[in-house]
Structure 1
Amino acid sequence: MKQIDRESMGALVKLGFFFAFTGISTLILALTLSNGSFGDRNEYKAVFGDVTGMAKGDDIRIAGVAVGSVKKIEIVKRDKALVTFGVDSDVPLTDNTHATIKFRNLVGQRYIALAQGSEGAKTTLKPGSTIPESRTQDALDLNVLLNGFKPVFQALSPNDTNKFAYEIVQTLQGESGNIENLLARTSSLTNTLAGRDQLIGDVITNLSEVLDTVGSRDRELTETIDTLQQFVTGLKDDRNAILNSVDSISDLSDETADLLVQGRPALSEDIKQLNSLTKNLSTKKNLNTIENSIKILPIKLQKIGNAASSGAEFNFYLCELKGSITIPAIAGILPETKVDLGGPEGLHTGGPRCEQPGYTQ
């Protein structure tokens, strides 16, 4: 009997340990699922315009990590929602903290994501403080979004539909402001295009006329392209001659440059002498002399013409030509050259008249 009592006592002890372990595990699991915490939490509030789907016990997260839970949701100012939530005391919030409601899953559960604003406040948000509506953002209205994709969902299988909806939520949650801006700008663009319908139509009509004209000139355009191709082919075949011409032009430019360099001193001297001549001619005395000569010259020419036309007062005969001309050297091109006029013996051209008495060579 004593042995049976000992066995019963051992089983009772084991059963007690089992219930204790099971109770503790259940308590820990319940606290985990309900975002319970053994530590102290600071209480804060936030004002939202719409908290549809939000419930007591939903997560409060920072960078995806659960740091608290929703404690209470109530109506304020008739059309606003005031959410009271707790955050672990070892997680301080700043004065510019923003609160955004996001989707936790496709079932419709939400959570509040806390993030520090871009202005970077350094002061700590006091427990009991309220985050105003200007720093909160409601969740994306998933029903409206999914209704818009209803024709697409009808063509998909249930698994594909769930996957597609999940990807949409993951992509668009918390981005309703950007989506609204995108849709607004898209609407503005479509309205602008609609307002320019007449202009776009005129452009398309004119473009059609241009294409028709080009199409009607297909033969001429083809001939032009063929001619251009032949011209380019000719340039290609004559490229050696063209390159040789360019080389010759380059050589000529070099020779001309050398000629100018060698003739520059003489040219400079001529310009100086010409300057002296112009100064001499520009004096008042010489200008008067030139002016008088120009005035008298027509009268003298008229008198000489009258005298020559009235008789044989002027009889000139060329009987013999003899002499030489020296052509100066051209630097780098020709040497100095002497040319005899009429040859070494001269040139006799007079004839019988030159044989009359009184002829002098």
Structure 2
Amino acid sequence: MSVLDKRTAGDLAKLLVFIVVTTLATGVLVITIGNLTFGASREYRAEFVDATGVVKGDDVRIAGVKVGTVKDIEIRDRTRALVTFSVAEGSAVRESTTASIRYRNLVGQRYISLAEGVGDTEPLDEGDTIPVGRTKPALDLTVLFNGFKPLFQALSPSDINQLSYEIVQVFQGEGGTLESLLGHTASVTSTLADRDEVISSLITNLNDVLDHLGDRDDQLSQLIVNFKTLVGGLKDDREAILSSLDQISLLSEQTADLVTGIKEPFVDDVKQLRRLATNIDDNKGELDRALQVLPIKLEKVGRTAIYGSWFNFYLCHFEGKVKLPAGIEVPLDDAFKTGGKRCDLG
């Protein structure tokens, strides 16, 4: 039993030693990789015209070594960005110190780089602000890379990454030289030379397009002249156009009021129109017959009106009886004798 206790105690001691050593090693690794500092620090501010991409927690570096952290970012006067950051107490920040925002990597992470400038070497008091005249915003990679866009389209992804990294490094002054950049550019040129057939075909197609445009230069010139005339006319009539827009807006309002007023009667008319259409559909046979007979009727009516702008009516086949007080009925056929050739025309 005692041997088992000794073995258990030994294993427990080994486990504790392993946990302690692993914890210390992990802590040292975290501190080394994260470049963490636990000493005293001082806070300063820097005013930038553009601090896009800078966030709380970004590094503050001197000569590439992390000496502090970004604490806060706020807007000042709607045109400036005020960045508050901390610096280790052992790092000197002077009146001539300059602050620049630089790219940490191509993903877009930034850091603030502090450098010694020309001028007063007196230490900067804690809480003071580096003025905008001694700060620089980050390089606008969007504008830079847009200029290289035609070149990038002909490169592989690995070549683009390498060339982009070199461009950023050179333009930020963080290492690399124009010689190394030109070396990579030469490599890119070799890659383009391997695709000379594609480029030649592109140039040939472009020449064809330009030839077609050249053959139609008169039409193109006329189009430009007409467009210029149109724009000039719109400019001369801008007041009338603007006033007409006001009238159109007023008309729209009045039309909306009109529609609002006739909404209910209009809905009822639509319903009645639907009933009318249903009745016409149900009696389409009779309507068809009426349309077929209508030309014959119109012909007879026209024949009746051939003597002028009036109609002549004749009474034909009149029949009737008159009942006398004595109860005797007298026929009127002989009294009102009708007929004749005109009655036989029908």
Scaled by the length of structure 2, the TM-score of the pair is 0.47
Larger radius of gyration: 1
Scaled by the length of structure 1, the TM-score of the pair is 0.45
